Structures are given as C-alpha cells and as structure tokens.
Structure 1
Amino acid sequence: MGLRRTFHRRVEAWIARRLPVSDSVTLNQSRIFILPSRQGMVLLLVAFVVLLLAINFESSLNYALGFWLVAMIWAAVHFTYRNLSGLTLKADRASLVQAGEAAEYHLKLDSDVDRYRGPLELIHDDWGLVTAVMDGEETDVSLSRETDRRGRHPLPRFRLESRYPFGLVVAWSHVELDLSAWAYPEPIDQDAHHQAGSDAGDATDDHFIHSGSEDFHALREYQAGDAMHRIHWPSFARDQLMVKAFVDYQAADEWLDWANYPSLMGEQRLAALSWQINQCLADDRPFGLRLPDREIPPGKGPAHTEQCRRALAEFGER
C-alpha cells in the first residue's frame, strides 16, 4: 500500500508539471493519451493469434483476417484521437453556496471544427461520471460537488475520456481549470452572546426621524417664520400659540459589524453575521457589512446580498 501511494503521488506530480492549471485548455497531441480498452486488448490478442496461425500454416486468409483486425485497431486510434484533438475547455463560472450545499461549476467546450465528437465523459470521484455530447462547435457542461466548509472550493483535476466510435481504445486527458466556487458560512443565531456596545435591555431602533411634511409628530410653540396653515387653532382659542410639527420617517442603515461579537471565535463571528444577513433579508431591511479587511456600504437586493455573502466566504482566504 505504501508503494502504491508513493507511485500515485509521483504520477500526480508528473501530471501537474506536464498539464498545469489554466483558465482555458486546448487538447493536442501533448495532452492526449491513448490505450486499448479491454475489448481492444482482446481484439489485439485475437489478431496476434491469427497472425501466428497464418505464419505457421502459411494461410493467406489468416493473413488477411489478422491484418484486418489490426487495421480496425489503427482506425479506432485515429477516430478516437480526433474526438479530443482541438477541443478547448474553458472555465465559465462557479456558484456561491452555503457551506454544506452542492457547488456548481460551469464549463464551455469549444471547437473550431463543426463535427460530431460523440459522448465525452468527465470523471472524478466527487461527481462520478458526467457525459457531454459534443455535436457542433460549442456545448456547456455543469459539474457538481459537495462543500463541507466555508471558503474557496477549486474545481479539482478531472479526467476527460472518449471511447467513440468503436470502444476499442480509450483517449483521455487530465484537465485542471482555474475555477473556484465559494461557500459562505452556515447561519447560526448568536444573539444569546453579549454584543459589544449594547445592553441586554436595548432594543434596535429601525427608524430615525427628521423634520418633514409626511406625518404629524407633536405640537410646539410658534416660531417666527412658521406657516400659517400649521397653526393649531384650538390651542389659539385657549390663548396658546402652537403649531403642528410634521416629520418624515426614514429607514436606518443597519451595520452588521465583526466587532459586535468580541466573545466569539472567527468562524463563529462569520456564522453570526451570516445569520444577521438572513434576518435583514426576511425583514426587507437595508444593511451594510464591516469586516476587519473590508467594508461594504449599506444596500439591498440580490446583488448586494451576494456581495456580502461572498465577502464572508472569502474572508481570510485571499
């Protein structure tokens, strides 16, 4: 077992040097490997036996059969190689998900030649076998793998195979694209912990008021310059010159701050901030995010939410 692990590590290191990571990979003769499949090995064995019989018995028919079988193997190598040759794999986009959910990786397969390349198999332990049928100049492929933690989840090196059209040989290449999905922390309610700068009995005020014209607020004494239509005439009848004061209500910008959880460890703080984001979304409140290395101004909407969640996912990863 130790020798096998050592051998696999050395093979992986050799592949990494020969096939480096990139945003886009074009398959050519230096990246494509070909070997006979099980059926191809059986056919080669049969051809070898037939040729031995032809040599031994000097049979022209056996010669013809033996060379015909070898020609089939040669044709399979040629056509299967063409399925991968010139194919370009490009990193498109990857998803932002909650830790523990499945991340999606989207790739594009391009070709300068418009031809049918048959079914192509993308193989890795994380997603098993995904088949993409290349019939034209472009096709899209989606790969999925589970996330088990917060942070960056790069697309692993996978194996691309083709056995079309005869299944007698396998042409493959190892591909590693520079594409990463991100997982933001699973939300955890940490309100039971003491927050810095607040008392246990304090309540969050979601609004502030300023002078305006929308809602009646209170009566106040008349001041020079006040409009006549705002005079409170019932008070004037009691020899008190009062005017009606109006105010406008405006939603307060709520800041979700790393510093609000001094008693928590780093990952727990991120989980608490993730929970607060969900609460603001549920209440349709604008919010901003403050982290030690980043500050996102208050806002609302899907794009703002994704920006804040991505900031939590990327914290400490770059």
Structure 2
Amino acid sequence: ELRLKRNEKYWREPAKVDEIVIRQVGDAVAQAQLLQSGQADVAMNIDPETAKTLTGPNVKTESAPSNNFVYLAISSGAVANPFPITADIREAISLAIDRKSLVDFTLGEGNGRLISVPFPLDFPGGAGHSIPEYSPDKAKELLTKAGHADGFTLEATYPKLNVYGVDFTLAMQKIQQDLAAVNIKLELKPVEFPNWREAATKDHIPITFVFFAPDFYGTSQYVNYFGLAPDTPWAKRAGAATDPSFVLPESKTMLAEALKSAPDKAEKIYFDIGEKIKAQNIIVPMISPNTILAYGSKVHGVRNSPASNVPLYEITLDD
C-alpha cells in the first residue's frame, strides 16, 4: 500500500483529508467487497457488471465518460505474417469488426463510446471523426482485391488483462468471431504483459489488442506515440524497418506546427493528423470505456478529471 499525507505547505488549498491510503487489490470483485463492507472508501477499478452488485444506501456508483481507450493494432512488418499485410487487408480487418456489438459484449450497452482515431474524444482533435462502417461484404471485396478471397490465419498475441472493465480475452474472442465471417482466422495467444511487450518490440505481433491512457491533458503525447513517424513507438512495433509503406513522416512536422499554434488552429492540425493515422489502419481504436466511480456514502468530491484520474486532493469525508 501507499500512504499519502497532507502537505500543509502546499501552495494551493491544502488537501481536505489528513491521509489517503492507496491499496493494491487484485480484481474488481475484491474491491467491491472492501467497499461494501466499509473497509475501503473509494474503489478505482470497478467494471459495469460488478457495479451492479454494489447496492444499499452506503455505496454510490456512477458512470462517467473517460479518455482511456482500447485498440487493435496490426503490424504489417511482423515476422510471423504469412505475407505482407497490405493497406487493403488492414482496411478489410477494420470493416469486418462490429464495434457496437463489441461494446455491448464486453461492457454492456451504454458503458463506452466508439472511437476511431488514437486521440481521446475530449482532447484537441479527437472529436468529429467518423466511425468505420461495419461491412463484412466490403471487407470480402477488399480481401478478394488483395488476392486472399479464401482467407488466411494471423497470430494474435495480446496481454492477458482486464483494463477499464474490458476483458481482453472476451474482446479478442468477439473480434475473432467477426473476422471468421470474412475467412480471417485468428490464433489467440494471451500472455503476461512483459511477454507481450517483448514480442511487440522484438519480432512484432501480426495483430494485437492493447490499451492507452493519458499522462496529461494534451494531444501531443498521442502523436508522439501513435503518429507513425519514423522511430516512434508504433512505427517500430508495426515493423517499419521491414515495411515502411505506412510510415507518416509528416506527422512530426505537423506536430511541431500544432505546438506553436493558437488553440483553434492546433485542434485542426491534430484532427488532420488523426485522419492520416486512421487511414493507415495500423492503429485501429475500438472503445473508450466509461469509468465507474464507486465510493461510500460518506465520501464527497469524487470525479473523473480530463486525464482520467480522480483528483484525490478534492475528496472530503464525513466524520
């Protein structure tokens, strides 16, 4: 556990409680039990299904939009690819996934927002992008055009996690089912996160599922991570050294322009960068899950900040 004591010399208004104890708890059910029994005041990782079990006058729950998201990633230069995963094939994969059903299947209806570029919906340049249509027929046309009408098999290694209420194995099983309808077979390989990171870095992973959350309010961090400029994390993980066709060197120049521009102009630049990333179908965002805020009835001031964190210094507790 981590204990945080109030800093009486803080330059703003001091925190409203003397001490906050952050305790690592393994899963949502265990967190809910601690909250229900009064052993915890706030639970930070409750999924929608577990939230339904939190009943009674002593517990409050609410669902709030977040700026976290989960996404599919396709590495066109992965060593294990049976052949080059071209732009047409990547687009076919995107169109073959029923995103709305994926939300309903993993989180329950209304517990997440669809997202199509790797920028949070509430960040500059993140809103207003169209969601790719669900069209198995068009996906099949693209696969035929690419010379793979009979389908193929891809290795799908992903971290064995439940993040923001999304069980990655359930999500990948749903995606596996959708892609099977267009003759793309996924071999699901759940692994521990360190093993996933090693695989993504070393030989890359043909298709995977992972997550991202903001470190601060600002879109630049997303361009640096997902912008597909040379030597950026996902350009390397997608195998740019083998297949540089998807690389976007202009995203680095556009970012520099956005950083020195007025907010309105910067937002337009970020939007345009997002569209360029989206068109490559290397990073294929799926869901921005809602955050479930769960806390005791004596707790006040719990909210979700733009960076998807609960500002602890705002919390108060009845005596």
| TM-score bin (small chain) | under 0.3
Task: Give the structure with higher Rg (CA).
Answer: 1
TM-score (norm: length of structure 2) = 0.21
Q: TM-score of the superposition, structure 1-length normalised?
A: 0.22
Structure with more contact order per residue of length (Cα contacts < 8 Å, sep ≥ 6): 2
